[in-house]
Amino acid sequence: MKFDRLIQPLVFSIILVLFSSSFSLAQEDLSHSWFNYHRVNMLVFLIFFFAVIIIYIERAKVGKSLFIRRIAGLDAIEEAVGRATEMGKPVLYISGIEDVDNIQTVASMIILGNVAKMVAGYDTPLYVPICMPFVVPIAEERVKEGYAAAGKPDAYNRDNVRYISSEQFAYAAGVNGIMMREKPAANLMFGSFYAESLLMAETGLATGAIQVAGTANIHQLPFFVVACDYTIIGEELFATSAYLSKEPKLLGSLKGSDLVKAIIMVILALGAILDTLGITHFASWFYIE
Amino acid sequence: MRREVPIVICFLAGLSFILEYFIPHQNIRPFFENFRQWAIIVIAFAYVLGISNIVRVNYHVIQKKGRDWIYKIVLVLGLFFMIIVGIFFGGIREGTIFFWMYNNAYYPLQSTMFALLAFFIASAAFRAFRVRTFQASLLGITAILVMIGRVPIGENVWKSFPDLVEWIMNVPQLAGKRAIMIGAALGAISTALKVLVGLERTYLGGE
């Protein structure tokens, strides 16, 4: 049975949790050790998390229906693209200023593919200014793929995916320039943003574009909330690919991470209660060196 | 093979970074260090892609004498000028042409862009603190309390003002922030797992 094999890591995780509690957190030289025992709790968590996700993916594969709550910001993407089409103006997609080693950029590239497919279906131009050169070929491929999936490979214009600059404010200036010149009717900003977030979002607001933004950088969220019509907050950015594609394996992983989130909430509440009562041993299991 | 090879490379690379976190042995550390160096070298080569993209996109506009084509010439000349002086005229050390250009042309431009943020923050704050709904009222009142408590006059008005601000920042504010952080971290781990094991392969194209 497949499920039996999947349950094994869970059992293993529980054993490791019990095992980990026997280790002290005293400082010691680990340069001759093949395993950092102080991080066993992190290993347990990773194994448990991965196991839960795989279990849910398997459940989704066998056809079990999984409910995903409505995310207004993601529904708004189609609305924004539709508005741009009605106005005969382009759509601007900004993928943040980090390289592909940042998982938010990877998530952004996944969303870009879906947006490109949507945009191609409406015959609306799509501009994608890029900050990091490594992202350029991936963005080109995603947009090209989106156009091909919509059955309009000839409508793909390679020059619309543009490398601007790897410097934060030079990039912001370049993007703002595109906003002011091209006057896109929809600005979609998904990825990792820093101080340039408000520069771009406020400029977009000034041009009258409908704006949808999403980032997991919490310090930039207030800026997006203030300046954008819809904001996708933190984890929702990573849920986007599953939400838009409705692919069972992706939906399964989403449900898996939701379950782990619920477990973490229970642990947090339990830890807070036990710590308040003076029982600190439970909380010590979760310290990471 | 076009899809399998990148997935295998991605898995092995991701796995090595996970193992690095758990294996402290001195004999294996150089391997991880080398791996990191490879990544830096590969990323450095990506700048060739960036430059080729800039040249291609702007060349098409210049060739057709499209909109703002004069500026495109300035952009491309500026790009190559900096590359040439950086490589052939003393590098990027202090006292070189590159260094002078960076400090006297690029740096002020960057500072100007950053300075614009102050005006944008003011306009954004004006919109955010308009009291129109119950939530906006809460936000506005909290913001005013925090601002007053963070300046000396706050303590003069009421001695415990700074303590109230500390409580707002350390309890409700931090709780909300950490909730978003935990959710985002789980989402990131989940996405990373999907990418590592090849469940999420749309970024490779050709799906």
- Averaged confidence pLDDT in chain A: 87
**Which candidate, A240, A230, A232, A166, places its Cα nearest to that of A204?**
A230
Amino acid B108: pLDDT:
95
Identify the burial level of A272 via C-beta atoms within 10 angstroms of its C-beta, where 0-12 means exposed, 13-18 middle and 19 or more buried: exposed
- Tell whether B103 is covered by a domain: no
Q: Which pLDDT tens digits describe chain B residue by residue (207 residues)?
A: 777 888 888 888 888 888 988 998 888 889 888 988 888 888 888 889 899 999 999 999 999 999 889 999 999 999 999 999 999 998 888 999 999 999 999 999 999 999 999 999 999 988 888 777 888 888 889 989 999 999 999 999 999 999 999 999 999 999 999 999 988 998 888 888 888 888 777 666 555
Within 13 Å, how many C-alpha atoms sit on residue B190's CB side? 33
Rounded to the nearest angstrom, the minimum Cα separation between A120 and chain B is: 16
- Alpha-carbon distance of B169 to B166, in angstroms, equals 5
Indicate if the pLDDT at residue A159 is higher than 80: yes
Q: Where residue A4 falls among pLDDT bands split at 50, 70, 90?
A: very low
From chain A residues 138-197, the ones with a CB under 8 A of any chain B CB are 138, 141-142, 144-145, 158-159, 161-163, 166-170, 172-173, 181, 195
pLDDT in tens, B148-200: 999 999 999 999 999 999 999 999 999 999 999 988 998 888 888 888 888 77
**Which candidate, A245, A68, A74, A246, places its Cα nearest to that of A146?**
A245
Indicate if the pLDDT at residue A20 is higher than 70: no
Residues of chain A neighbouring B78 (CB-CB closer than 8 A): none
**Which candidate, A236, A226, A220, A201, places its Cα nearest to that of A92?**
A201
- Tell whether B88 is covered by a domain: no
Q: Do A161 and B53 touch (CB under 8 A)?
A: yes
Amino acid A209: pLDDT:
96
Class for the domain spanning A72-244: alpha beta
Q: Which of B51, B68, B85 is the last residue of a domain?
A: B68
Q: Which of B68, B93, B121 is the last residue of a domain?
A: B68
The residue of chain B nearest to residue A32, with distances taken between CA atoms, is: B25
- Tell whether B20 is covered by a domain: yes
Question: Does residue A101 or residue B81 have the better pLDDT?
Answer: B81
- Alpha-carbon distance of B64 to B106, in angstroms, equals 29
From chain B residues 41-100, the ones with a CB under 8 A of any chain A CB are 43, 46-51, 53-54, 56-57, 60, 67-68
Indicate if the pLDDT at residue A54 is higher than 90: no
Whether residue B19 lies within 8 A of chain A, CB to CB, comes out as no
ipTM comes to 0.87
Average pLDDT over residues A19-38: 67
Instruction: Determine which helix (DSSP H) or strand (DSSP E) holds A186, and give its type and residue range.
Output: strand A186-192
- Tell whether B9 is covered by a domain: yes
Residue numbers of the domain that contains B138? 129-207
Whether residue A184 contacts residue A92, with contact meaning beta carbons closer than 8 Å, is answered with yes
Indicate if the pLDDT at residue A14 is higher than 60: no
- Alpha-carbon distance of A233 to B53, in angstroms, equals 32
Whether residue A228 contacts residue A222, with contact meaning beta carbons closer than 8 Å, is answered with no
- Tell whether B27 is covered by a domain: yes
Q: Name the domain count of chain B.
A: 2
pLDDT in tens, A204-255: 999 999 999 999 999 999 999 999 999 999 888 888 878 887 777 788 888 8
Per-position b or e across A172-189, b if 16+ CB within 10 A of its CB:
bbbbbebbeeeebbbbbb
- Tell whether B26 is covered by a domain: yes
- Tell whether B119 is covered by a domain: no
Instruction: Determine which helix (DSSP H) or strand (DSSP E) holds A190, and give its type and residue range.
Output: strand A186-192
- Tell whether B89 is covered by a domain: no
Amino acid A18: pLDDT:
47
The residue of chain A nearest to residue B129, with distances taken between CA atoms, is: A226
3-state secondary structure of A218: helix
**Which candidate, A71, A84, A221, A168, places its Cα nearest to that of B124?**
A221
DSSP B29-88: HHHHHHHHHHHHHHHHHHHHHHHHHHHHHHHHHHHHT-TTHHHHHHHHHHHHHHHHHHHH
Amino acid B76: pLDDT:
95
Q: Which of B68, B91, B115 is the last residue of a domain?
A: B68
Question: Does residue A53 or residue A177 have the better pLDDT?
Answer: A177
